[in-house]
A and B are shown apart, each in its own frame.
Chain A
């Protein structure tokens, strides 16, 4: 049994880059004056020659990454999600997505759990933005081990990838020894039959708690971890829709355009069941401690339990 780690996925990201640097000499890491926060500084220390600090110029950084990719490099262009996915959206679409270049766009400090910096830094739109780019793989790993595996998978996948990182420390629920990560495949964490909860990223560990509480109350909920939002594991989700009926989606993202809509899209076309979305309800966040904000916006186990029970009553 591997150790139980409590770590922010941004830290796991930095570690993974440094650890994999020798095996993958084409990897180049770019940052935009946030290396200490995004943890690319760890890679910089290990491989100073393959690290480029672009300064505060995210649009330029993405363009530079595109150029590096045309010359055989595997660039990881990193900043806060607000800036890498948000500010540089068009550069990502036109200079990375359209030419289908092997660039990894990394968005750290995603979601409401950036905390005190407030609304301008709380990116609840990145999944929506990145999902709409044709050919873009969208990854939102949930814990330490999943993030490490995702970085490796991103390197090995040839083509554009968006990788979402969190600022807040999360307890790992995966195990290094037996964890198998497959790009595009969802992971069934609990096999229930009353209802299905589909969660992603930071919210998976919270959904896991909710499922345990539900179990104590006699509700047998299935829990699926979707680390790859695109391409979505439609098969797994449609199977769940057929076997359990209703689905609850849980994400630290606007309910518009994220996991919830992706799941809706899948079941709607193949086997329509009610889908209830837990997420940020199309509002801006504000300043406050990360954990308190998650509670305030209903992004916790208690709220998931409530929503699930209500859905079952209907």
Chain B
């Protein structure tokens, strides 16, 4: 990827973060931490990787995306808005009564949302189903799903992983947002799913461990995943929870808390600084 392309993606990711903060702030609730850590992954998937058309969100040969860690909907919604599925204005109504954008993804009401999620651990199974359907129908679409590293404590994730490998779902690519934090503390303290890469490998996945904020590494990983045949892929993306908002970075407390007016200003200043830095490049 050349410098201009990379710069463009970085700017988009920054706007995803701004959109997510905007939404959570207006809703006075929601999950900023994990939305920010996954922002670069959302951006790459929607702007570089996936074969999709925002004007035709239900096109049957499109690539599919399942946000298994559904609480990070603000990040996904901001990405979908930037991509053109709906106006960014909708972010202001996030979680309000009658809003298109529900607290957790709702495939019935939001264009671009392929699966309703929110109960952790269930999305991967649905992604497996989508991938299996693609195989049955000899379609060449791919299925992507982002999971939390806390989320993978759910046993169902491993039932799905076993299924995916057993059925040789090489059209499935799981991305673990490995930010190291969940709600009650660090993932290491609470649940201990590490080493995550070894687990997926032993389940029969092709596994890559990357820096989830480095677009060169993200690109290389997705390119490689496309070449894998006969087994599913897992990309373990090392990330920072609360990325690019100074007071949220690596803070457990910012998992599911909305910023107040003052914190909102600071967060936006932080992100604007990142954006102007990128614009100056």
Contacts and interface: CB of A to CB of B under 8 A. Distances in A.
Interface residues of B, number: 35
B280 interface: no
Interface in A32-56: 33-37, 41, 53-56
A59 B95 contact: no
B30 A116 contact: yes
Given A82-B119, A287-B95, A287-B97, A56 B182 contact: yes
Interface string B73-96: 000000000000000000000111
B151 A56 contact: yes
B267 interface: no
B182 A33 contact: yes
Main secondary structure of the interface of B (DSSP, over half): loop
Interface in A284-305: 286-289, 292-293, 296
Given A33-B190, A55-B191, A57-B153, A121 B97 contact: no
Nearest to A295: B97
A36 B184 contact: yes
Contacts, number: 94
- The interface size bin for chain A is 20 to 34
A120 interface: yes
Contacts of B155: 57, 59-60
A170 B104 CA distance: 26
A87 interface: yes
A117 B151 CA distance: 17
Given A41-B184, A287-B97, 10 more contacts: A35-B183, A55-B192, A56-B151, A59-B155, A116-B30, A117-B118, A118-B102, A119-B106, A121-B118, A287-B94
12 contacts: A53-B185, A54-B191, A55-B193, A56-B150, A115-B29, A116-B27, A116-B29, A117-B118, A119-B102, A119-B106, A120-B104, A287-B96
Closest 7 CB pairs of A and B: A55-B191, A120-B118, A288-B97, A118-B103, A55-B153, A116-B95, A287-B103
